[in-house]
Structure 1
Amino acid sequence: MAADATESTPQHVPVVVVGAGQAGLAVSWLLTRDGVEHVVLERDTVAHAWSDARWDSFCLVTPNWQCRLPGYHYAGPEPDGFMVGDEIVEWLAGYVASFDPPVRERTAVTSVRPLDTGAGFAVRTAAGDYLADQVVVATGGYHTPAVPRVGERLPASVAQVHSAQYRSAAQLSAGPVLVVGTGQSGAQIAEDLHLAGREVHLAVGRAPRFARRYRGRDVIAWMQDTGHYDRPVTEKPVEERTQDRTNHYVTGRDGGRDIDLRLFAEQGMTLHGRLAGIEDGRLSFAADLEHNLDAADAVYNGINQLIDEHIAAGGIVTAEPPSRYEPSWRPTGYAGSELAADDLAAVVWATGFTRDYRWLHAPVFDGAGHPAHLRGVTPTPGLYFVGLPWQHTWGSGRFAGLEPDAAHIAERIAERIAARTAGHVAGHVAGHIAEDPAPRMVGARASQFA
């Protein structure tokens, strides 16, 4: 009987990399350099998130000099600038052209499962199956837009978009817009709408912030000098090690500047506390606005104080003296607030993303659904992660931290290949020794592999 036409013999590949964003490309460059046969499987197109899931005015919040991938560091004319969306896409395209990675685009991985033998993995895709000795998951930590179900209580007249779908103010119907969330995306989108002249309401969450520049330099440059970005996550307090922490808000727009929500309020933006609920056509906000603003400012001043201590300890001379941020606007008497849903034209949910590893059938997750790993190496032999936030240091998951993180995984891959090769050679030699009637040759042969 003929075999089912839908069945095919899986293709063996020593290493499968899942995801062709910057993390997967970084690993691929290292494997290519080392002569390790591999394939990179990408459900969409290479680095598609930078072109398909960013708003029109999007730019990096980290300086260009921090854009470092294995074998490919930013070498453009503006190391202290901030690349905008098209420039990031172009920069990554240059990386791809520099080594021609073995990427198979539009090849979604539907399942990765360790083999029953304990040696290798079955990798299923819509375009065919693979048997891999090792697998690198390079899909990052932000997969599915998270939209609170409370949004289901909004009337159909209120358009709802997630930050991943937002492109510009022109995308939204005329009228007031509520932005929910003040992480990097929420704060920058609120500014984008504000600069476009829209009436903006902003539900302020608990995200921290930092200064763009302090004492004559970009704050990130100072923090790089202090070694902050290289500190292993294991040196952080336990409560600061989670992958779900909200990033500090700041912007690289127009050359880079602070994002000061209090200044927005002075300019006419309406600030609220966290969105607490929606009932009977009204949105209610918690009474935590002042606390959230003060907490963000405390982080801002705390980071500047760390820089002051670094400057003092190193005897560094700067043109600017130490300073502290002092708020010029306070939500005096704020005890919560309400909005009528009918008064809004749209809501932008800047509420982050959830993880989706349903396709990965390996016992490597903790109770919160995070991959359990040490520097990307999981308890399942041959299975790795790269590109996760807080994977090893504060810089992990960003361009600045990918090079060492990817190098660590590439080294572990090479070690397993070497161990497997050595095992095959040793087994081959042992077989010959067992059949060899001349014992005098044993020592000589064994010494060749000592």
Structure 2
Amino acid sequence: MSVEKVEALIVGGGQAGLAMSRHLGAAGVSHLVLERDRIAERWRSARWESLVANGPAWHDRFPDLEFSDTSPDGFPGKEEVAAYFETYAEKYDAPIRCGVEVTEVTRNIGRPGFHALTGAGEEIEADYVIAATGAFQTPLIPPLVPEATGLTQIHSAAYRAPGQLPEGAVLVVGAGSSGAQIATELLEAGRKVYLSVGPHDRPPRRYRGRDFVWWLGVLNKWDMEATPGVEHTTIAVSGAAGGHTVDFRKLASRGMVLLGRTEGFDAGMMRFAPDLAANIAGGDENYLSLLREADAYVAANGLDLPEEPEAHLIGPDPDCLTQPILSLDLAKAGITMIIWATGFGVDYSWLQVDSFDANGHPLHIRGVSAEPGVYFLGLPWQTRRGSSFIWGVWFDAKYLADHICKQRAYLAYRPDSAPA
């Protein structure tokens, strides 16, 4: 079998891979995108049925293509998001091959570039390799509750709809966007829901007639660079049902039982940290601080935006907050199901280069790897707060494409004459 040669190999055909393809194509860099499934497959098969984008259609998109079936202020559903990326690939004739899994990438020995091998035995050589597999690779479930308990346990990536679950109460662990939205959907379906809440940010969905994405933009918060600890902040936000502010107090008033961080399990008892009140208070302060900054921005710029004094009111503490549950007998509580909304790990086992730390996380600066010629794209906080959003990965891809072009220019340089 002959070896195919290309300047740049992009691994992953989701939002990151397509953004990278667009910028490389515009720069005249020959490239190939390999996707092991379908374009934007994660949006199709690793999300629940009712999921919509967390940002409105005017904001969470690439700058040169709008959503066709959702109004600018609406929130496109997961199937529409996947179709959007398919349309984008067709519009710009992205050189993408689906159903092709890259199993190994190694650096060439004694010469420039990299050698890639696919599951079908195809061989590809490239000068540059861009790992665009994103941040949601391997679902993480803490090894706390043994399978022998008989409880059904799934990751949020495997959740589809309330009717999928066995009868009984549900414990959702993790109160970021996924956990909060799933817990709310189950509550509205008539389930008894327990929600384990850790530290989080809780922005308003809308304030004074503007979506929170607009406020983060004008306040320059999307462009905040990563600082130690900040890059792991959980954000509770929802575009469901037209978009609404996630308010854990209101959820508790409707019957949801809030718990602190999940700490351990023993003999049928789940243990929780005594930090629920602090976590809720931290989320409230994040919410209120954004309102205060928004008000200051309106005043400083003389904007005619309607006031919302009621938005500053925080409801009363529910009983589960003032009398926190530190241990819970799952059987007595009728809990038959645990949904772990506990994030994802990375798996770059196919990329066999010296560019990872002891935990397998990429070593990079703004996506430029410690290994020359290797790049990462789609990572949370890769360059800024907005990096893992659709629009944010677009700008990160442009940065990497520019970097590749600079490297090409250096390598193409030939002196006019040999030095004296």
Structures share fold, TM-score greater than 0.5: yes
Question: Is 2:84 the partner of 1:91?
Answer: yes
Q: Secondary structure at the match of 1:160?
A: strand
CA contact (8 A) 2:106 2:116 kept: yes
Q: Give me the whole-angstrom Cα distance separating, in 2, the residues matched to 1:176 and 1:77.
A: 35
**1:336 and 2:336 equivalent?**
no
Provide the residue aligned with 2:130 in structure 1. Answer: 136
Cα deviation for residue 374 of structure 1 reads: 2.1
Q: Distance in 2 between matches of 1:310 and 1:350?
A: 35
Contact kept? 1:284, 1:339, Cα under 8 Å: no
In structure 1, the residue matched to 2:392 is: 401
Residues 1:12 and 2:5 are matched in the alignment? yes
Q: Report whether the alignment pairs 1:214 with 2:204.
A: no
The CA deviation string for residues 244-285 of structure 1, in whole angstroms up to 9 with x for no partner, is x14311211111101111111111111111222111122222
Instruction: Determine if contact 1:20/1:42 at 8 Å carries over to the other structure.
Output: yes
Distance in 2 of aligned mates of 1:99 and 1:42: 17
Q: Distance in 1 between matches of 2:111 and 2:229?
A: 34
Aligned partner (choices 385, 405, 415) of residue 406 of structure 2: 415
Kindly report which structure 2 residues correspond to 1:242-321, keeping only aligned pairs within 5 A, or say none. 242=231, 245-321=232-308
- Partner of 1:112: helix, strand, or coil? strand
Q: Structure 1 length normalisation: TM-score?
A: 0.87
**Distance 1:358-1:325 versus aligned 2 partners, 3 A rule:** farther
Please state whether the residue corresponding to 2:144 is helix, strand or coil. Answer: helix
In the alignment, is the contact (CA less than 8 A) between 1:67 and 1:73 conserved in 2? Answer: no
1:30 to 23, 43, 46: 23
Q: Secondary structure in 2 aligned to 1:136?
A: strand
Match runs of 1:37-436 below 5 Å: 37-69=30-62, 71-74=64-67, 78-117=71-110, 119-127=112-120, 128-152=122-146, 155-156=149-150, 158-231=151-224, 233=225, 237-240=227-230, 242=231, 245-322=232-309, 323-330=311-318, 331-334=321-324, 336-341=326-331, 343-423=334-414
* Matched residue SS, 1:68: coil
Task: Classify the secondary structure of the residue corresponding to 2:413.
Answer: helix
The structural deviation recorded for 1:48 is 0.3
Question: Following TM superposition, by how much is the alpha carbon of 1:53 offset from its aligned partner in structure 2, in angstroms?
Answer: 0.7
Residue type of the alignment partner of 1:271: L
Identity score, percent: 38
Measure how far apart 1:89 and its partner are: 1.8
Q: Is the 8 A contact 1:163 1:350 kept in 2?
A: yes
TM, length-normalised to structure 2: 0.93
Q: Which runs of 5+ in 2 are unaligned?
A: none
* Partner of residue 447, structure 1: none
Native 8 Å contact 1:58 1:85 kept in 2:
yes
Amino acid at match of 2:317: W
The residue type equivalent to 1:340 in the other structure is: L
Give the letter for the 1:287 counterpart: P
Aligned equivalents of 1:205, 1:214: Cα separation in 2: 25
Shift of residue 104 of structure 1? 1.7
Distance 1:211 1:132 in 2: 45
The alignment yields a C-alpha RMSD, in angstroms, of: 2.1
User: How far off its partner does 1:23 sit?
Assistant: 0.6
Letter in 2 for 1:338: L
Gaps in structure 1 of 5+ consecutive residues: 1-7, 435-450
Residues 13, 38 of structure 1: 8 Å contact kept: yes
